[in-house]
Protein backbone atom coordinates (compact mmCIF):
# COMPACT_ATOMS: atom_id res chain seq x y z
CA UNK A 1 0.00 0.00 0.00
CA UNK A 2 1.73 3.18 -1.18
CA UNK A 3 -1.06 5.58 -0.46
CA UNK A 4 -2.59 6.00 2.94
CA UNK A 5 -6.36 6.26 3.24
CA UNK A 6 -7.21 9.80 4.46
CA UNK A 7 -9.16 8.21 7.35
CA UNK A 8 -5.80 7.42 9.00
CA UNK A 9 -4.28 10.86 8.68
CA UNK A 10 -3.88 12.78 11.91
CA UNK A 11 -4.53 16.52 12.09
CA UNK A 12 -1.29 18.45 11.83
CA UNK A 13 -0.95 19.17 15.56
CA UNK A 14 -1.40 15.51 16.48
CA UNK A 15 1.14 14.03 14.09
CA UNK A 16 4.11 12.27 15.63
CA UNK A 17 7.23 14.34 16.00
CA UNK A 18 10.48 13.17 14.46
CA UNK A 19 12.62 14.03 17.47
CA UNK A 20 12.24 11.34 20.05
CA UNK A 21 12.69 11.92 23.73
CA UNK A 22 13.34 8.64 25.49
CA UNK A 23 11.72 8.45 28.85
CA UNK A 24 14.29 6.96 31.10
CA UNK A 25 12.29 8.79 33.73
CA UNK A 26 9.48 6.25 33.83
CA UNK A 27 10.29 4.39 37.01
CA UNK A 28 11.01 0.67 36.97
CA UNK A 29 9.72 -0.92 40.16
CA UNK A 30 10.93 -4.26 41.43
CA UNK A 31 8.02 -6.27 42.80
CA UNK A 32 10.16 -8.94 44.51
CA UNK A 33 9.05 -7.87 48.00
CA UNK A 34 5.52 -9.05 47.16
CA UNK A 35 6.09 -11.69 44.50
CA UNK A 36 5.52 -14.64 46.85
CA UNK A 37 2.25 -13.26 48.27
CA UNK A 38 -1.23 -13.78 46.89
CA UNK A 39 -2.58 -10.78 48.71
CA UNK A 40 -0.93 -7.97 50.59
CA UNK A 41 -1.22 -7.58 54.36
CA UNK A 42 -4.04 -5.13 55.01
CA UNK A 43 -1.99 -2.45 56.71
CA UNK A 44 0.24 -3.65 59.54
CA UNK A 45 3.12 -6.14 59.34
CA UNK A 46 4.48 -4.35 56.36
CA UNK A 47 8.20 -4.94 55.85
CA UNK A 48 10.59 -2.13 55.09
CA UNK A 49 10.99 -3.34 51.49
CA UNK A 50 7.26 -3.39 51.06
CA UNK A 51 6.85 0.06 52.56
CA UNK A 52 9.45 1.37 50.10
CA UNK A 53 7.66 -0.26 47.21
CA UNK A 54 4.34 1.27 48.25
CA UNK A 55 5.98 4.69 48.39
CA UNK A 56 7.46 4.18 44.92
CA UNK A 57 4.09 3.18 43.50
CA UNK A 58 2.55 6.32 44.97
CA UNK A 59 5.28 8.56 43.67
CA UNK A 60 5.23 7.13 40.14
CA UNK A 61 1.43 7.26 39.99
CA UNK A 62 1.45 10.88 41.03
CA UNK A 63 4.33 12.06 38.92
CA UNK A 64 3.88 10.01 35.73
CA UNK A 65 0.66 8.03 35.88
CA UNK A 66 2.89 5.29 34.44
CA UNK A 67 5.49 2.87 35.74
CA UNK A 68 7.09 -0.42 34.75
CA UNK A 69 7.32 -3.54 36.87
CA UNK A 70 9.88 -6.35 36.94
CA UNK A 71 9.88 -9.52 39.06
CA UNK A 72 6.11 -9.32 38.77
CA UNK A 73 5.46 -13.04 39.09
CA UNK A 74 3.91 -13.58 35.63
CA UNK A 75 5.82 -16.44 33.99
CA UNK A 76 7.38 -15.01 30.84
CA UNK A 77 6.91 -18.27 28.90
CA UNK A 78 3.17 -17.71 29.10
CA UNK A 79 3.51 -14.25 27.61
CA UNK A 80 5.89 -15.46 24.90
CA UNK A 81 3.51 -18.25 23.90
CA UNK A 82 0.61 -15.84 23.62
CA UNK A 83 2.66 -13.36 21.62
CA UNK A 84 3.67 -16.05 19.16
CA UNK A 85 0.07 -17.15 18.67
CA UNK A 86 -1.01 -13.53 18.25
CA UNK A 87 1.50 -13.18 15.41
CA UNK A 88 0.21 -16.40 13.84
CA UNK A 89 -3.36 -15.19 14.06
CA UNK A 90 -2.65 -11.77 12.56
CA UNK A 91 -0.68 -13.40 9.72
CA UNK A 92 -3.86 -15.18 8.53
CA UNK A 93 -5.66 -13.92 5.43
CA UNK A 94 -8.16 -11.18 6.21
CA UNK A 95 -11.13 -13.42 5.27
CA UNK A 96 -10.04 -15.90 7.96
CA UNK A 97 -9.71 -13.20 10.63
CA UNK A 98 -13.06 -11.76 9.66
CA UNK A 99 -14.74 -15.03 10.67
CA UNK A 100 -14.35 -13.85 14.25
CA UNK A 101 -15.01 -10.21 13.58
CA UNK A 102 -16.74 -7.99 16.13
CA UNK A 103 -20.07 -6.42 15.27
CA UNK A 104 -22.71 -4.21 16.84
CA UNK A 105 -24.06 -7.17 18.82
CA UNK A 106 -20.72 -8.53 20.02
CA UNK A 107 -17.85 -6.17 20.85
CA UNK A 108 -15.30 -9.00 21.15
CA UNK A 109 -13.09 -10.62 18.53
CA UNK A 110 -11.19 -9.21 15.56
CA UNK A 111 -11.36 -5.79 13.92
CA UNK A 112 -9.14 -3.38 12.07
CA UNK A 113 -11.37 -0.34 12.04
CA UNK A 114 -10.96 1.27 15.45
CA UNK A 115 -11.07 5.03 15.60
CA UNK A 116 -9.53 7.07 18.41
CA UNK A 117 -10.94 10.59 18.49
CA UNK A 118 -12.48 9.97 15.08
CA UNK A 119 -9.23 9.22 13.25
CA UNK A 120 -8.59 5.65 12.22
CA UNK A 121 -5.82 3.76 14.07
CA UNK A 122 -3.09 1.98 12.08
CA UNK A 123 -3.60 -1.37 13.78
CA UNK A 124 -5.64 -4.53 13.94
CA UNK A 125 -6.76 -6.10 17.20
CA UNK A 126 -8.32 -9.13 18.80
CA UNK A 127 -10.23 -8.66 22.08
CA UNK A 128 -11.36 -11.23 24.64
CA UNK A 129 -12.68 -11.04 28.18
CA UNK A 130 -10.70 -12.39 31.11
CA UNK A 131 -13.60 -14.00 32.99
CA UNK A 132 -15.83 -16.61 31.38
CA UNK A 133 -18.90 -14.75 32.47
CA UNK A 134 -18.50 -11.07 31.87
CA UNK A 135 -21.57 -8.91 31.66
CA UNK A 136 -21.56 -5.38 30.32
CA UNK A 137 -23.91 -3.05 28.47
CA UNK A 138 -22.46 -2.46 25.01
CA UNK A 139 -24.46 0.37 23.54
CA UNK A 140 -25.86 3.58 25.00
CA UNK A 141 -29.21 2.79 23.39
CA UNK A 142 -29.45 -0.44 25.33
CA UNK A 143 -27.99 -0.05 28.78
CA UNK A 144 -29.02 -3.41 30.13
CA UNK A 145 -25.95 -5.51 30.87
CA UNK A 146 -25.60 -8.55 28.67
CA UNK A 147 -23.37 -11.59 28.69
CA UNK A 148 -20.31 -11.07 26.52
CA UNK A 149 -19.19 -14.11 24.57
CA UNK A 150 -15.64 -14.56 23.34
CA UNK A 151 -15.18 -15.52 19.71
CA UNK A 152 -12.21 -17.84 19.17
CA UNK A 153 -10.70 -18.55 15.77
CA UNK A 154 -10.12 -22.11 14.49
CA UNK A 155 -6.50 -21.21 13.92
CA UNK A 156 -4.20 -21.14 15.80
CA UNK A 157 -6.13 -23.79 17.78
CA UNK A 158 -4.15 -23.29 21.01
CA UNK A 159 -4.99 -19.59 21.22
CA UNK A 160 -7.95 -20.02 23.54
CA UNK A 161 -6.11 -22.12 26.12
CA UNK A 162 -2.91 -20.08 26.05
CA UNK A 163 -4.88 -16.85 26.33
CA UNK A 164 -6.69 -18.21 29.37
CA UNK A 165 -3.47 -19.25 31.10
CA UNK A 166 -1.93 -15.86 30.51
CA UNK A 167 -5.07 -14.05 31.67
CA UNK A 168 -5.10 -15.94 34.97
CA UNK A 169 -1.54 -14.88 35.73
CA UNK A 170 -2.01 -11.24 34.84
CA UNK A 171 -5.23 -11.14 36.83
CA UNK A 172 -3.24 -12.03 39.96
CA UNK A 173 -0.79 -9.25 39.21
CA UNK A 174 -3.68 -6.83 38.64
CA UNK A 175 -5.02 -7.47 42.16
CA UNK A 176 -1.57 -7.00 43.68
CA UNK A 177 -1.16 -3.69 41.88
CA UNK A 178 -4.62 -2.61 43.00
CA UNK A 179 -3.67 -3.40 46.58
CA UNK A 180 -0.39 -1.52 46.27
CA UNK A 181 -2.28 1.49 44.94
CA UNK A 182 -4.80 1.33 47.77
CA UNK A 183 -1.99 1.18 50.34
CA UNK A 184 -0.18 4.04 48.62
CA UNK A 185 -3.31 6.17 49.07
CA UNK A 186 -3.29 5.38 52.79
CA UNK A 187 -6.22 2.96 52.48
CA UNK A 188 -6.45 -0.61 53.61
CA UNK A 189 -5.01 -2.98 50.98
CA UNK A 190 -8.39 -4.54 50.14
CA UNK A 191 -10.34 -1.27 50.00
CA UNK A 192 -10.92 -1.47 46.23
CA UNK A 193 -11.20 -5.23 45.81
CA UNK A 194 -15.00 -5.50 46.06
CA UNK A 195 -15.41 -3.37 42.95
CA UNK A 196 -13.60 -6.14 41.06
CA UNK A 197 -15.54 -9.14 42.35
CA UNK A 198 -17.27 -9.46 38.96
CA UNK A 199 -14.61 -7.58 37.08
CA UNK A 200 -15.21 -6.89 33.41
CA UNK A 201 -11.57 -6.90 32.34
CA UNK A 202 -10.45 -7.71 28.85
CA UNK A 203 -7.24 -8.40 27.01
CA UNK A 204 -6.39 -7.00 23.62
CA UNK A 205 -3.91 -8.39 21.16
CA UNK A 206 -2.66 -5.38 19.18
CA UNK A 207 -0.85 -5.72 15.87
CA UNK A 208 0.66 -2.63 14.29
CA UNK A 209 1.72 -3.41 10.71
CA UNK A 210 4.47 -1.36 9.06
CA UNK A 211 3.03 1.90 7.80
CA UNK A 212 4.16 3.64 4.58
CA UNK A 213 3.49 7.06 6.10
CA UNK A 214 4.46 6.81 9.79
CA UNK A 215 4.77 10.58 10.04
CA UNK A 216 1.08 11.06 9.23
CA UNK A 217 -0.69 8.26 11.09
CA UNK A 218 -0.69 6.75 14.57
CA UNK A 219 -1.09 3.16 15.74
CA UNK A 220 -3.38 4.47 18.45
CA UNK A 221 -4.22 8.14 18.63
CA UNK A 222 -3.75 10.05 21.87
CA UNK A 223 -6.15 8.81 24.52
CA UNK A 224 -6.56 7.97 28.19
CA UNK A 225 -7.55 4.50 29.30
CA UNK A 226 -11.08 4.57 30.70
CA UNK A 227 -10.76 1.66 33.14
CA UNK A 228 -8.91 1.33 36.44
CA UNK A 229 -5.46 0.01 35.51
CA UNK A 230 -3.74 -1.19 32.35
CA UNK A 231 -1.00 -3.83 32.36
CA UNK A 232 0.76 -3.70 29.01
CA UNK A 233 3.24 -6.14 27.52
CA UNK A 234 5.10 -4.78 24.50
CA UNK A 235 7.61 -6.46 22.22
CA UNK A 236 11.07 -5.04 21.50
CA UNK A 237 10.06 -2.67 18.68
CA UNK A 238 8.79 0.27 20.73
CA UNK A 239 6.39 3.03 19.75
CA UNK A 240 4.43 3.82 22.93
CA UNK A 241 4.61 7.48 23.89
CA UNK A 242 3.44 9.03 27.12
CA UNK A 243 2.55 12.66 27.77
CA UNK A 244 5.00 13.79 30.44
CA UNK A 245 3.11 15.63 33.16
CA UNK A 246 5.92 18.01 34.00
CA UNK A 247 6.04 19.70 30.57
CA UNK A 248 3.35 18.10 28.37
CA UNK A 249 5.97 16.66 25.98
CA UNK A 250 5.55 13.25 24.32
CA UNK A 251 8.19 10.82 25.52
CA UNK A 252 8.91 7.34 24.22
CA UNK A 253 8.79 4.37 26.59
CA UNK A 254 11.77 2.25 25.69
CA UNK A 255 10.94 -1.47 25.83
CA UNK A 256 12.41 -3.20 28.89
CA UNK A 257 12.64 -6.95 28.31
CA UNK A 258 10.38 -8.87 30.68
CA UNK A 259 8.77 -5.77 32.18
CA UNK A 260 5.12 -4.76 32.11
CA UNK A 261 4.09 -1.15 31.69
CA UNK A 262 1.41 -0.11 34.13
CA UNK A 263 -0.78 2.93 33.84
CA UNK A 264 -3.42 4.41 36.01
CA UNK A 265 -6.76 4.76 34.18
CA UNK A 266 -9.61 7.24 34.54
CA UNK A 267 -11.31 5.32 37.35
CA UNK A 268 -8.31 5.57 39.66
CA UNK A 269 -8.09 9.25 38.84
CA UNK A 270 -11.67 9.70 40.05
CA UNK A 271 -11.29 7.44 43.11
CA UNK A 272 -8.15 9.34 44.11
CA UNK A 273 -9.85 12.68 43.39
CA UNK A 274 -7.13 13.71 40.89
CA UNK A 275 -4.17 12.64 43.04
CA UNK A 276 -3.24 9.99 40.45
CA UNK A 277 -4.09 11.30 37.00
CA UNK A 278 -4.85 9.12 34.02
CA UNK A 279 -2.21 10.22 31.55
CA UNK A 280 -2.55 10.56 27.78
CA UNK A 281 -0.57 8.19 25.62
CA UNK A 282 -0.39 7.17 21.96
CA UNK A 283 1.41 4.73 19.71
CA UNK A 284 3.76 5.64 16.88
CA UNK A 285 4.13 3.27 13.95
CA UNK A 286 7.13 2.78 11.69
CA UNK A 287 7.70 1.81 8.07
CA UNK A 288 9.89 -1.24 8.78
CA UNK A 289 8.70 -3.47 11.54
CA UNK A 290 5.54 -5.11 12.77
CA UNK A 291 4.82 -4.51 16.43
CA UNK A 292 2.72 -6.56 18.85
CA UNK A 293 1.50 -5.35 22.22
CA UNK A 294 -0.87 -6.96 24.70
CA UNK A 295 -2.73 -4.74 27.15
CA UNK A 296 -4.81 -6.17 30.00
CA UNK A 297 -7.51 -3.63 30.87
CA UNK A 298 -8.45 -4.12 34.52
CA UNK A 299 -12.03 -2.91 34.76
CA UNK A 300 -14.51 -3.12 37.64
CA UNK A 301 -17.96 -4.70 37.36
CA UNK A 302 -20.50 -2.87 35.21
CA UNK A 303 -22.68 -1.98 38.22
CA UNK A 304 -19.92 -0.05 40.01
CA UNK A 305 -20.68 3.63 40.42
CA UNK A 306 -17.44 5.56 40.36
CA UNK A 307 -16.86 8.59 42.59
CA UNK A 308 -14.06 10.01 44.73
CA UNK A 309 -13.44 7.81 47.81
CA UNK A 310 -15.00 9.36 50.90
CA UNK A 311 -11.99 8.65 53.14
CA UNK A 312 -9.79 10.83 50.96
CA UNK A 313 -12.07 13.84 51.09
CA UNK A 314 -12.17 16.65 53.61
CA UNK A 315 -12.90 20.35 53.67
CA UNK A 316 -9.67 21.11 51.79
CA UNK A 317 -10.16 18.31 49.32
CA UNK A 318 -13.75 18.27 48.16
CA UNK A 319 -15.04 15.80 45.58
CA UNK A 320 -13.98 16.90 42.11
CA UNK A 321 -16.22 14.47 40.23
CA UNK A 322 -19.87 13.55 40.18
CA UNK A 323 -20.68 9.89 40.43
CA UNK A 324 -21.07 7.96 37.18
CA UNK A 325 -21.85 4.37 36.31
CA UNK A 326 -18.95 2.40 34.84
CA UNK A 327 -21.08 0.17 32.57
CA UNK A 328 -22.74 3.19 31.02
CA UNK A 329 -19.41 4.93 30.52
CA UNK A 330 -18.03 1.83 28.82
CA UNK A 331 -21.05 1.49 26.54
CA UNK A 332 -20.64 5.09 25.42
CA UNK A 333 -16.95 4.61 24.72
CA UNK A 334 -17.54 1.45 22.76
CA UNK A 335 -19.89 3.14 20.40
CA UNK A 336 -17.57 6.00 19.59
CA UNK A 337 -14.68 3.60 18.97
CA UNK A 338 -16.85 1.51 16.69
CA UNK A 339 -17.49 4.10 14.04
CA UNK A 340 -16.49 7.56 13.15
CA UNK A 341 -18.81 10.01 14.84
CA UNK A 342 -18.96 13.74 14.84
CA UNK A 343 -18.94 14.06 18.59
CA UNK A 344 -16.13 13.75 21.09
CA UNK A 345 -16.26 10.45 22.95
CA UNK A 346 -17.13 10.31 26.61
CA UNK A 347 -14.47 11.49 29.09
CA UNK A 348 -14.34 11.74 32.87
CA UNK A 349 -14.02 15.51 32.42
CA UNK A 350 -17.75 15.45 31.60
CA UNK A 351 -18.33 14.52 35.25
CA UNK A 352 -15.98 17.09 36.69
CA UNK A 353 -17.57 19.38 39.24
CA UNK A 354 -16.91 22.95 38.23
CA UNK A 355 -17.14 25.54 40.93
C1 LIG B 1 -4.16 0.83 24.26
C2 LIG B 1 -2.77 1.34 24.26
C3 LIG B 1 -0.43 0.95 23.86
C4 LIG B 1 0.47 0.09 23.05
O5 LIG B 1 -4.40 -0.20 23.56
O6 LIG B 1 -5.00 1.44 24.96
O7 LIG B 1 -2.55 2.41 24.77
O8 LIG B 1 1.69 0.26 23.20
N9 LIG B 1 -1.80 0.58 23.73
O10 LIG B 1 0.00 -0.73 22.26
NI1 LIG C 1 -4.17 3.00 26.09
The three-state (H, E, C) secondary structure of 65-104, written as one string: CEEEEECCCCCHHHHHHHHHHHHHHHCCCHHHHHHHECCC
Q: Which ligand is nearest to the CA of 233?
A: 1
CA distance 123 to 106: 20
Whether 295 is in the pocket of ligand 1, judged by its Cβ within 6 Å, is yes
What residue's CA is closest to ligand 1, atom 5? 295
Q: pLDDT at position 42, please?
A: 78
Whether 201 is in the pocket of ligand 1, judged by its Cβ within 6 Å, is no
Task: Indicate which atom in ligand 1 lies nearest the CA of residue 281.
Answer: 7
* pLDDT tens column, 192-233: 999 999 999 999 999 999 999 999 999 999 999 999 999 999
The sign of the torsion formed by the CA atoms of 111, 117, 123, 127 equals negative
Whether 234 is in the pocket of ligand 1, judged by its Cβ within 6 Å, is yes
Query: What's the half-sphere exposure (Cβ side, CA atoms, 13 Å) at 124?
Result: 20
CB neighbour class for 201 (10 Å; exposed up to 12, middle 13-18, buried from 19): buried
Decide yes or no: CATH 2.60.120.330 for domain 6-133+146-303. Answer: yes
Query: In angstroms, what is the span from residue 114 Cα to ligand 1's centroid?
Result: 12
Query: In angstroms, what is the span from residue 217 Cα to ligand 1's centroid?
Result: 15
Of the candidates 220, 244, 216, the one whose C-alpha atom is nearest the C-alpha of residue 293 is 220
Q: Kindly list the domain boundaries of the chain, sorted by start residue.
A: 6-133+146-303
Q: pLDDT at position 53, please?
A: 96
Kindly state the percentage of the chain with pLDDT values over 70: 94
Predicted confidence (pLDDT) at residue 326 exceeds the cutoff of 60: yes
Q: How many residues does the chain have?
A: 355
Whether 262 is in the pocket of ligand 1, judged by its Cβ within 6 Å, is no
Query: In angstroms, what is the span from residue 244 Cα to ligand 2's centroid?
Result: 15
DSSP state of 321: B
Which residues 6+ apart lie within 8 Å of 75 measured at CB? 169
CA torsion angle 27 229 233 33 (round to 10): 50
Which residues 6+ apart lie within 8 Å of 69 measured at CB? 28, 29, 30, 31, 173, 177, 259, 260, 262
What residue's CA is closest to ligand 1, atom 1? 295
Q: What is the CA 335 to chain-centroid distance, rounded?
A: 18
* pLDDT tens column, 30-66: 999 998 888 888 776 678 999 999 999 999 999 999 9
Of the candidates 174, 163, 222, 161, the one whose C-alpha atom is nearest the C-alpha of residue 201 is 174
Q: Which ligand is nearest to the CA of 121?
A: 1
Which of 283, 297, 330 has most ligand 1 atoms within 8 Å of its beta carbon, as the pocket-test mutant?
Answer: 283
Of the candidates 26, 10, 9, the one whose C-alpha atom is nearest the C-alpha of residue 245 is 26
Q: What pTM did the predictor assign?
A: 0.94
Question: Is residue 317 within 8 Å of residue 273, measured between CB atoms?
Answer: yes
Whether 226 is in the pocket of ligand 1, judged by its Cβ within 6 Å, is no
CA distance 58 to 29: 11
Whether 206 is in the pocket of ligand 1, judged by its Cβ within 6 Å, is yes
Task: Indicate which atom in ligand 1 lies nearest the CA of residue 293.
Answer: 10
Predicted confidence (pLDDT) at residue 20 exceeds the cutoff of 70: no
* pLDDT tens column, 116-165: 888 899 999 999 999 999 999 988 888 899 999 999 999 999 999 999 99
Amino acid sequence: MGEVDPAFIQAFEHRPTPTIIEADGIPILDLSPISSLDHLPKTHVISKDMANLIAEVGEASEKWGFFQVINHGVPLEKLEKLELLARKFFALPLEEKKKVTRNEANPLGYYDTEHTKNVRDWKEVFDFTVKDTTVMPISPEQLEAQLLVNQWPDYPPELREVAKEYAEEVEKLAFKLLELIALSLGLSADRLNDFFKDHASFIRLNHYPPCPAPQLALGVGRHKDGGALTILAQDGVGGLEVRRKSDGKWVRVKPTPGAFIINVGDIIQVWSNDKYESVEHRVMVNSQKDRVSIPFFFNPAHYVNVKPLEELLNEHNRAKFKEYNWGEFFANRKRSNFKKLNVENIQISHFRITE
